[in-house]
Amino acid sequence: MSKDSVKLLNFWPSVFGLRVHYALDLKGVSYDYQEESLPNKSKELLEANPIYTKIPVLIHNGKPICESLVIVDYIDSVWPGSHKLLPEDPYEKAVARFWADFGDKKLYDAGSRLIRAMGEEHKKAGKDFKWALMKIDEALGTIAPGKPFFGGDAMNFADVALAPFICCFKSYQKVGGFVLPGPEEWPNLYKWVDAVNSVDVIKISTPSDDKVAEFLERYRKHATRAA
């Protein structure tokens, strides 16, 4: 493993980039990190991801891998190690993939609209965001009853895919003008948030709520001014 060259091209507030961080860190893989400036992307990024020209990109021994869930899947194949992210059982694996994908299709989508939109669309985004979290609470109760993670006692593919959104909760509530239901209503979700936040490598990789909030507020000002 020591001869491997591993490099992550990223932009720190990206929930997609955090997935890759988490996966590498949970596996204990050493890597170089390159922070990208979105208005001025590096030649390396543009060449490594010509289709989307987006972070995150993992470059492993010169080969670029793009799209966060594809990267996490790749990491799990190359470094299975002691912490396997994708379950061996085909049905459990499908369930983990389904909820990881739910993060993109519902949670990211609603969060993104919350930050960009105004008026009715903004209100709708808040509702959609809360709905998505409610579904995650329900799913945790069904898939891993009594356990903290989608993966049971340890984070799996779904946990890694969904966990990055946690550091946006504070800003989403502020921007959306709502307060999320508490642990009495969403016990599984809050137990999961606590469990994720107490994993050492997650603590190290995750930017603070305040830093994310400040970034997202600046982003919202810019996006709504441009609209």
**Per CB under 8 A, 214 contacts a copy of itself:** no
The interface with a copy of itself within residues 43-62 (CB under 8 A) comprises 51, 60
Overall residue count recorded for the chain in this entry = 227
**Per CB under 8 A, 83 contacts a copy of itself:** no
**Per CB under 8 A, 91 contacts a copy of itself:** yes
Contacts of 40 (CB under 8 A, 6+ apart): none
At 123, list the tokens: 């209100």
Sole window of 93-101, 150-158, 160-168, 194-202 interacting with a copy of itself (rule: CB under 8 A): 93-101
| Of the candidate residues 29, 45, 48, 71, the single one contacting a copy of itself (CB under 8 A) | 71
Q: How far is CA 93 from the centre of its chain?
A: 18
Q: 84 or 174, CB closer to a copy of itself?
A: 84
Q: How far is the CB of 36 from a copy of itself (least distance, A)?
A: 19
Q: 97 or 124, CB closer to a copy of itself?
A: 97
Q: 52 or 184, CB closer to a copy of itself?
A: 52
The interface with a copy of itself within residues 126-145 (CB under 8 A) comprises 135
How are strands ordered across the β-sheet holding 32-35?
32-35, 6-10, 57-60, 63-66
Question: Burial letters for 85-102: b for 16+ Cβ neighbours within 10 Å, e otherwise?
Answer: bbbeeeebeebbbebbeb
Q: 51 or 227, CB closer to a copy of itself?
A: 51
Q: How far is CA 163 from the centre of its chain?
A: 5
| Of the candidate residues 32, 33, 35, 98, the single one contacting a copy of itself (CB under 8 A) | 98
Handedness of CA 92, 94, 95, 99 (dihedral sign): positive
Residue 50: phi and psi, rounded to 5, are -65, -25
Q: How far is the CB of 195 from a copy of itself (least distance, A)?
A: 23
**Per CB under 8 A, 78 contacts a copy of itself:** yes
Residue 18 · residue 10 · CB < 8 Å? no
**148-154: long-range contacts (C-beta < 8 A, 24 or more apart)?**
148/191, 148/192, 148/194, 148/195, 149/192, 149/195, 149/196, 150/95, 150/96, 150/99, 150/192, 151/85, 151/87, 151/96, 154/83
Sole window of 7-15, 97-105, 148-156, 170-178 interacting with a copy of itself (rule: CB under 8 A): 97-105
Q: How far is the CB of 182 from a copy of itself (least distance, A)?
A: 24
The interface with a copy of itself within residues 149-208 (CB under 8 A) comprises none
Residues of this chain that bind a copy of itself (CB under 8 A): 51, 60, 63, 65-67, 69-71, 73-74, 77-78, 90-91, 93-94, 97-98, 101-102, 106, 135
